[in-house]
A = this chain, B = another copy of it.
Amino acid sequence: MLMDTNNSLPTNSINKGSHSLGRLFLQLRRLERQPQTFGKAGSLTPSEIHTIEAIGCEGGILMNELATSLGVTKGAVSQLVVRLEAKQLVKRSSYPHDSRAVLISLTDKGKEAYKAHEEVHVQFYDQLRAQLSQQEIEIFEKCIDKLNEFLRK
């Protein structure tokens, strides 16, 4: 009865890209689950390395900012920071203007992990670039940006 409620269009070609994108999501989902080792920092879970990435090498960041930047609750960040502090990748310091607030920043060891992770990203991307022409890269980046903008909504 309801076989192919999909209507009219040459669905094949449309679905092809949608399907590739679906597979990409699945791959990333899988990838984003396994811990990795970065520099001397030892094995870090995906959340941990993302947190380090979000803190950044320069200056400190408030818990609140970190939470919105990562798109999680402040409770989640609080827990993450406890773990990272225990691993000595991150340190807390007080925020001059408001004694409730806590400034989070990377320790030297944390910065090392940051750099190592960034290095992995860049190398990965370099490998991808190596298989594409200059023009393709530009278009690809444009599309990724559009996609990002799109997902933000």
Contacts and interface: CB of A to CB of B under 8 A. Distances in A.
**Which secondary structure dominates where chain A touches chain B?**
helix
Stoichiometry (number of copies): 2
Interface string A21-41: 111111111111000000000
A132 interface: yes
Contact of A136 (B18, B25, B142): B142
Contacts of A151: 24, 27-28, 31
A145 B20 contact: yes
A136 B139 CA distance: 6
A25 B16 CA distance: 21
A30 B125 contact: no
A24 B147 contact: yes
- Which 4 A-B residue pairings sit nearest by Cβ, starting from the closest? A18-B125, A140-B143, A30-B71, A27-B151
Given A20-B148, A24-B148, A139-B143, 5 more contacts: A18-B124, A25-B28, A26-B71, A128-B150, A139-B140
